[in-house]
Structure 1
Amino acid sequence: MLHNILNITAAKSYVPYQDLENKQMLLGILTEPGEFVNHIRRYTNFLTTQMVLGFRTTSIHDPKLQQLFDGFEKFCEASSAGTAALVDFYPLLRSLPDLFLPLRSHAKKLHEKERELYIGHWLDVKKRIKDGTAKKPCFCVDLVAAQDQEGFSDALAGYIAGSFLEAGSDTTAATLVGFVQAMILYPDAQQRAQKEIDMVVGSGRLPTMEDETNLQFTRACVKESLRWMPTSILGVPHAVTQDDEYMGYTIPKGATVINNVWAIHHDPNRYENPYKFDPNRFIHDLQIAGEAAKNSDASKRDRYVFGAGRRVCQGLHIAERSLFLAMSRMLWAFNFKAPLDASGQKVLPDASKLTQGLFVMPERFEAVITPRSEKRAAMVQHEWEECRTLLDQNLQWKQVPDGMKFSVYQHTQDNTVDVQ
């Protein structure tokens, strides 16, 4: 079911969603530049709530949006703590009561909040689908049909939808925050990308997906951002299905295998001066994300943050488009600089300071974000006003754009599941 709404053909159909949310993000950064992280997060969260649940997240202050990001961040911190590692190494410790494992008690509380969020979202959209008030199509329409046929619990359905929300929101947002940091630390890359965008697009309109093939340096910025600041630094753990051997090491069936994304992306044998943000590494790489992930020559894959092998992230096509639209338009509209201290010296962010956990992003830093011209600022405002005509008084889509590629769940007579 996920594959049917995330494959490359389907991904292209969601551009109207991405286009509108991107324009609201630009307006937010224009009017509240100090809140750029929150505006980026709302942009990335929107697409998943619209695709999965059928509604827009309209405000950076939405409590459910804050819970999604804050809860996941706290879970990442808990799962990477020393106590968690100790229990992993010595499973016997799991039998201890919570009194002796306060981290587990803390994790249970986080889980209850997460469960309330995920299942609450599910029960709400399920009710709206059942009574005919939901905006269709969305992924949960299929999920309701599947539940009616298969009889699985609301908890399972809630976590299917919730994990989709989580995966689609955090990773892209963190990459974009890292990109903003890179533009401050490497102004030459910023200026070169802006020059390319100005030559191809000009000042009279925003970049679109149709410009992508003519903006190779900007595409290289997307690739380099994913390499330079990989958000899932150890990937997603896998397990081997049979005994295997690698470079003299025996890997027994069932053993967990960790994909050390950070080490691969910062390997000096693979990337010269790997801690430098340098889009030129990919200036001649014309592969889209899906092509790179499947390249039989592993040395020519542009990044491993989406995983590797058969279990590669299914949302990479959508993420790639979200990143290109965001980066190209942010560079078109704004300049990014470091703030100055009392003596007039630049206060540069430290790229080595990352949030802790299995999932990382730059620690909070200050950025001075200003429109490149009054004309471009006015264009950002005008574009959002045009988008407002597509929305109702609650800032929800009046009608779903044509061409949305959602699957049709069918339960066939021989008790097999058919997704078309």
Structure 2
Amino acid sequence: MGSILHIFFLPQTIAVSAFCITLLAFIHYRVTRSNHRLPLPPGPRGSILFGNSIPASFSHLHFDNLTQRYGPVFTLRQGFNTIVVVGRLKAAVDIMEKEGSATVDRPRSIAAGETLSGGMRMVMTPIGEQFRKLRRAMHSHLRPQVVPDYTPILARNAKRHLIDIINDPFNHQGHAKRYAASVVMEIAYGKQPKLYTDPEILAINECSRRLGLNLRPGIYIPGYLKELQDAHIDELALFKRLLYEVKTKMESKSDVPESFSKYLIERQPELGLSDSEMAYLAGSMFGAGSDTTASAISISIIAAACYPAAQNRVQDELDAVIGRERAPTSADQDMLPQTMAFVLETFRWRPVAPGGIAHRTTRDIIWQNYLIPKGVTIIGNTWSIGRDTDFFEDPESFNPMSPLAELDSLEA
């Protein structure tokens, strides 16, 4: 009898629950709108219960289509969450740069930030004492001023990279991956892997792949937390093992090369970091730097092959300024405007992170008579920003002069 009653009342229970959720969503929507005189930026209508659908793959192209339809800044909604997407260069400067103090925060991420990363990945950490502690540790060792200290690592691996390309040009993507992994592994842990297929590199890259999957808009499915909890245990064990290898060498008084891990261990009391926090700082630095660097190098090679005139201008400049007796270094950047313009244009033409990274507003922002309220998620869609025809006349073409000319006009 009980089971019959359960079956009879179950549909009614579901209906009542759905009605309550819908009512709450409607009230939240109305209250949010009625508390402010200015409207939110325009955007597509969505389901009153679920809001707007966002594809898990190629969301930057979806956002680009919406930018063309609704303008440089538009609004989406997912459940109770409001998302504002910025898709044009001037709007990005106005909102993301000039109002940077109000957009520096991160939205809460239960899946990728809290469960998978244990609240210890700086890129996923909201503003607060934890974020400031992690940033202080990261910034003190990885600020731009210390880049010259890495010149020997960069130069040694760059030479090997060029030799690899000369010997096997068709495998240039594999060579780029090996170069990036070697550089970042040496900076993070003082280790020099021989191959990109090193088991530790593959394991860290798998952590990065999993993080990227769970960062995509709309990808999280309730009930998936157990799998993410298990993944967190695995990646924390990996990061700790790599950190403890450095610590063991230091305790044995052996010659330990300089690295980010060594720096953290030496200053652990001063920085106030736990072993797990140090492990995540070093491990996530590798994860964030390896694949993105490899992708940027591969894109540069593709651009050089597709646009030989641009490649020739860079080669002529390098021959004139540097010569052929040595390789350029970071100290030469100010003397190489053509080369730096080429690099900047690759970032615009084929950005490594086309969808950008989500931020969160910490106060209301007024932009052109629209309100971007405190507490909403805000995304700078890098793909659309780099295709702003007000600044880039032919955005699909690779034009290394455009970053210099257009950025100068923007500053003016």
What TM-score results when the alignment is normalised by the length of structure 2?
Answer: 0.59
In structure 2, distance between residues paired with 1:247 and 1:284: 26
Is residue 285 of structure 2 the alignment partner of residue 164 of structure 1?
yes
SS at match of 2:375: coil
Equivalent of 2:306 in 168, 185, 191: 185
Asked if the contact 1:123–1:154 (Cα under 8 Å) also holds between the matched residues in 2, the reply is no
In structure 2, distance between residues paired with 1:29 and 1:239: 42
More helix by share: 2
Is residue 143 of structure 2 the alignment partner of residue 7 of structure 1?
yes
SS at match of 1:14: helix
Is residue 160 of structure 2 the alignment partner of residue 24 of structure 1?
yes
In structure 1, distance between residues paired with 2:247 and 2:372: 44
Counterpart amino acid of residue 188 in structure 2? V
Partner of 1:143: 264
Q: 1:74 to 1:7 in 2, by over 3 A?
A: closer
**Aligned 1:317-328 pairs, distance under 5 A:** none
In structure 2, distance between residues paired with 1:19 and 1:69: 24
Q: 1:205 to 1:241 in 2, by over 3 A?
A: closer
In structure 1, distance between residues paired with 2:138 and 2:249: 21
Asked if the contact 1:21–1:46 (Cα under 8 Å) also holds between the matched residues in 2, the reply is yes
CA-CA distance at 1:130 after TM superposition: 2.5
Identity of paired residues, percent? 29
Counterpart amino acid of residue 151 in structure 2? V
Which blocks of at least 5 consecutive residues in structure 2 are unaligned?
1-136
Equivalent of 2:236 in 90, 115, 139: 115
Q: 1:39 to 1:255 in 2, by over 3 A?
A: same
In structure 2, distance between residues paired with 1:257 and 1:149: 34
Partner of 1:224: 345
CA-CA distance at 1:278 after TM superposition: 0.7
CA-CA distance at 1:19 after TM superposition: 0.7
Asked if the contact 2:138–2:281 (Cα under 8 Å) also holds between the matched residues in 1, the reply is no
Q: How many residues align?
A: 276
Which blocks of at least 5 consecutive residues in structure 1 are unaligned?
88-93, 99-103, 286-291, 302-420
In structure 2, distance between residues paired with 1:283 and 1:225: 13
| Deviation per residue, 1:46-97 (Å, 9 max, x gap) | 333222212222322312222333442343234427542xx5xxxxxx3xx4
| Deviation per residue, 1:76-122 (Å, 9 max, x gap) | 234427542xx5xxxxxx3xx44xxxxx5665555454333322212
Give the stretch that moved more between structures: 165-174 or 71-80: 71-80
Asked if the contact 2:181–2:196 (Cα under 8 Å) also holds between the matched residues in 1, the reply is no
Counterpart amino acid of residue 51 in structure 1? I
Is residue 396 of structure 2 the alignment partner of residue 275 of structure 1?
yes
SS at match of 1:55: coil
Asked if the contact 1:46–1:56 (Cα under 8 Å) also holds between the matched residues in 2, the reply is yes
In structure 2, distance between residues paired with 1:248 and 1:28: 55
Q: 1:68 to 1:214 in 2, by over 3 A?
A: same
In structure 2, distance between residues paired with 1:14 and 1:185: 31
Q: 1:275 to 1:214 in 2, by over 3 A?
A: same
Give the stretch that moved more between structures: 236-245 or 218-227: 236-245
Is residue 178 of structure 2 the alignment partner of residue 42 of structure 1?
yes
User: Cα RMSD (Å) of the superposition?
Assistant: 3.0
**Aligned 1:350-369 pairs, distance under 5 A:** none
Give the structure with higher Rg (CA): 2
Counterpart amino acid of residue 165 in structure 1? F
Q: 1:75 to 1:208 in 2, by over 3 A?
A: closer
